[in-house]
Amino acid sequence: MLVELGEDPARDGLAKTPHRVDRALRFLTSGYDQDIDVVINNALFTVDDSEMVIVKDIDFYSLCEHHLLPFFGRCHVAYLPRDKVIGLSKLPRIVEVFSRRLQVQERLTNQIAETIAEKLNPLGVAVVLEASHLCMRMRGVQKQNSTAITSAMRGMFRTDARTRMEFLDLLWRGGRGAGGGRATSACEHDDDAF
């Protein structure tokens, strides 16, 4: 690559660049080497309630599989326990496993949701990712303030509008989230809307 760019790979600043790039790419794609069951490490606990659990603002970094440029942002995860909960720190670890691979945001969102659904068998799972893509900012369309938002809703988050709106309301409360604002649910305006 360095030669193709017209550079001298033997010059001082570049002599060790191939080694550094190799190490960086191995770290940035380390999710391929991780076993999700080892990551979860049996941190599943029996519970008697089904109240919503949310972990939001999970920072993540990934590489776009089309250009090998970074995309990064925040992941928000919620689930409704059926009879088990997972250790809270395991949700960011699940995000990390799948984000440390060559990805597209849509697949990443669904992989996180599917894994939580499979391992917990909850009443519902919701995952929302907000990300900035350097392949859109540094090249191509070059739009500096664009943000991509993807969601994956499973179970009650897909079938029950009130559950979904409760999650979205809690997610955007406090000025965080897409556009820095708070989502307004139709439920707030008309109790019969859903």
Active site residues: 64-67, 105, 133, 135
Q: Alpha-carbon torsion 94, 99, 102, 103, what sign?
A: positive
Record the tokens describing residue 129, joined without a space: 């990712």
- DSSP for 63-94, please give it: EETTT--EEEEEEEEEEE-SSEEE-TTHHHHH
Residues paired with 152 in a beta bridge: 127
Radius of gyration of the chain (CA): 20
With 0-12 CB in 10 A as exposed, 13-18 as middle and 19+ as buried, what is 94? buried
- Pairwise CA distance, residues 117 & 95, whole Å: 14
